[in-house]
Amino acid sequence: MKLWSQFFIPTLKESPADADITSHKLLVRAGLVRKLAGGLYTYLPLGLRVMRKITQICREEIERGGGIELEMPHLHPVENWQHGPRWPAAREIMFRADSAGDGKRPSREPEFVLGPTHEEVITPLVKAEITSYRDLPKNFYQIATKFRNEIRPRYGLMRAREFVMMDAYSFDVDDPHAIVSYQRMKAAYEAFFRRIGAHAIAVEADTGVMGGSFSHEFMVPAEVGDDDVIYCEASGYAANREKATSALVPKDLADAAPVGATELFPTPGIVTIAALEAAPYSVPADQQFKTLVFMGDGKPFVVILRGGDELEEAKLGSLGFTLFRPATPEEIEPVMGARPGSLGAVRGTIKNAGALAGVFADYAIRLIGNGVTGANQDGHHLRNVNVARDLAVTKFGDFRRVRPGEPCPLSGQPLQVRRGIEVGHIFKLGTKYSEKYGAAYTDDQKQSHPMVMGCYGIGIGRTMQAVIEQSHDADGIVWPWAIAPYQVLVCVLDPQLPEAMELATRLAAAAEAAGADVLVDDRAERPGVKFKDADLIGIPLRVTIGGKGLKEGIIELKARTSKDVRKVPLAEAETQLAAAVHSCRGVA
């Protein structure tokens, strides 16, 4: 048992000025963390206890899922990253570190970087240590600090610059085995979130340039989340915004019958979908073709969508370009023959079609019959444009952002959208890293193959805060039993009475014997202050011992989740408290 007077729980009445969301306010007010600077936090003793409990449950479940724990350095030689596949992108978020005192000026590249994640360290390690199929599969994990120079650290521990992550890396002989490792980790994640009392759902996520459907994010539904989840209650379908699709376009859709030949018409000064929607043109947005030009690995390519649809840029990852970005008007004009606002992809109208790496059309444009598109002449559009007859499409694909209300791809019911906090991520990596670092094994025929990898992450601090976001009321945090910093709070209203403290010690021992961590509030504070603090820090069970109650021969028992206060005769206090602990723990 811990005595509050000899511990350190600096609760606050007021929320810090920089806290916008409830969980951030409560983290600080309940004395769990203190800010050093933007995105940098000290875990105070109470916060550290929660972090440790989450960490331990995480460790147990990841071990059950096949994980083997190790710990890698936080400081990485920059060469490890330069030799890897993502240095140009990753360097933007990495903190650099230079050794000092050798008299040399810092070079342009740092000597060391602080690890934002560890593929660049684990893959060379595995390459050096594992060479035979007999030693696979292996899944290594650690629970350690990560460093990322987030552009906008915010929301307390949700988006920090320094944070604790469970990161795991699996190595398998081939794809089917890698999928087994992936599924085991997915099950481990589900068990972990269930055990800590977090309601997290696995959501299909985008795999970017890697392709395939083997990525899931674990999302805690919350208004303050940074991510959109598209889901269907009826079928259980759930995907993040980048990945979500719908059954909007029927597979057997027949093309609309053209009403006549394409026809050029002047549209002086009209360069937006909205302007063409307005009078005198009055073309509904979804009867317009939206023509966008991108640069993919140095070559221009065209993307066509319905006018009312938004491009989901992440979906262009499936086209296979390593790097792509929107083209500038200066890059567009010589290829298309016009500037943005008058672009189109009607055969024969593109000035230098041969320069294009392709014309990629979203499936939904097939819903347009006799539509309108730019004529590739400034200030002109074409009407009566039909997809099959008129457009020079290289390939159809899913490039648009799904709109809520569209039919679910599984059930056909309307899709819904809600915000979520990404607390974990699992990813089938394939051989991207193993090929780059030469992490290969030999099979029983002495043939060499690259290992097939997976990578996995859970943000421990973000998870702690997401639980608070999900589990609180107007008075404070409501901790799930498994991760509560203490599970029983013995509130002694008259700590100056020796018999009160003596009873507190006995009850604490009984609760501990039943499997609870116990905090005794022995401060010389008014009852009102003690009860407010008790609610704020969110301990699941509260026992109150007061001088008055002692005279009456009773103590009080109260659960954080309920308003009911149960009076318990002194003679039954220990057994009833033990029974309450057992029932909270789910022990019969």
Q: Which residues bind Mg ion (CB under 5 A)?
A: 425
The interface mask with ligand ATP, positions 386-425, x = CB under 6 A, is ------------------------------------xxxx
Indicate the residue whose CB is closest to Mg ion: 425
Residue pair 131/162 in contact (Cβ under 8 Å)? The answer is no
Asked if 65 is part of the footprint of ligand ATP (rule: CB under 6 A), the reply reads no
Q: Six-digit token pair at 239?
A: 């995907």
Nearer to Mg ion among residue 227 and residue 494 (C-beta)? 227
Residue pair 46/33 in contact (Cβ under 8 Å)? The answer is no
Cβ 88 to ligand ATP shortest distance, Å: 17
Distances (CA, A) of 435 to 87, 120, 136, 169: 16, 12, 17, 15
Distances (CA, A) of 324 to 112, 240, 294, 296, 505: 29, 21, 7, 4, 66
DSSP assignment letter at 132: B
**Interacting partner of 423 out of ligand ATP, Mg ion, none (Cβ under 5 to 8 A depending on kind):** ligand ATP
Asked if 25 is part of the footprint of ligand ATP (rule: CB under 6 A), the reply reads no
Q: Which residues within the stretch 517-556 sit at the binding site for ligand ATP (CB under 6 A)?
A: none
Cβ 215 to Mg ion shortest distance, Å: 8
Stretch that binds ligand ATP, among 13-21, 56-64, 157-165, 275-283 (CB under 6 A): 157-165
Cβ 524 to ligand ATP shortest distance, Å: 39
Nearer to Mg ion among residue 241 and residue 425 (C-beta)? 425
Cβ 450 to ligand ATP shortest distance, Å: 23
Nearer to ligand ATP among residue 246 and residue 470 (C-beta)? 470
Cβ 82 to ligand ATP shortest distance, Å: 20
Residue pair 72/142 in contact (Cβ under 8 Å)? The answer is yes
Cβ 268 to Mg ion shortest distance, Å: 46
Cβ 168 to ligand ATP shortest distance, Å: 11
Q: Which residues within the stretch 456-475 sit at the binding site for ligand ATP (CB under 6 A)?
A: 457, 459, 461-462
Nearer to ligand ATP among residue 220 and residue 357 (C-beta)? 220
Q: What is the rounded distance in angstroms from the CA atom of residue 438 to the CA atom of residue 470? A: 44
Asked if 241 is part of the footprint of ligand ATP (rule: CB under 6 A), the reply reads no
Exposure string over 284-312, b if 16+ CB within 10 A, otherwise e: eebbbbbbbbbbbeeebbbbbbbbbbebb
Ramachandran angles phi, psi of 132, nearest 5°: -120, 150
Residue pair 338/379 in contact (Cβ under 8 Å)? The answer is no
Q: What is the rounded distance in angstroms from the CA atom of residue 409 to the CA atom of residue 238? A: 10
Contacting residues for 149 by C-beta, under 8 A, at least 6 apart = 92, 93, 94, 95, 161
Cβ 259 to ligand ATP shortest distance, Å: 47
Contacting residues for 295 by C-beta, under 8 A, at least 6 apart = 301, 324, 325, 326, 327, 331
Nearer to Mg ion among residue 425 and residue 472 (C-beta)? 425
Residue pair 157/146 in contact (Cβ under 8 Å)? The answer is no
Indicate the residue whose CB is closest to ligand ATP: 459
Asked if 160 is part of the footprint of ligand ATP (rule: CB under 6 A), the reply reads yes
Cβ 315 to ligand ATP shortest distance, Å: 17
**Interacting partner of 225 out of Mg ion, ligand ATP, none (Cβ under 5 to 8 A depending on kind):** none
**Interacting partner of 148 out of ligand ATP, Mg ion, none (Cβ under 5 to 8 A depending on kind):** ligand ATP
Calculate the dihedral angle through the C-alpha atoms of 152, 157, 160, 164, rounding to the nearest 10 degrees: -160
Residues near ligand ATP, by CB under 6 A: 117, 148, 150, 159-160, 163, 165, 226, 422-425, 457, 459, 461-462
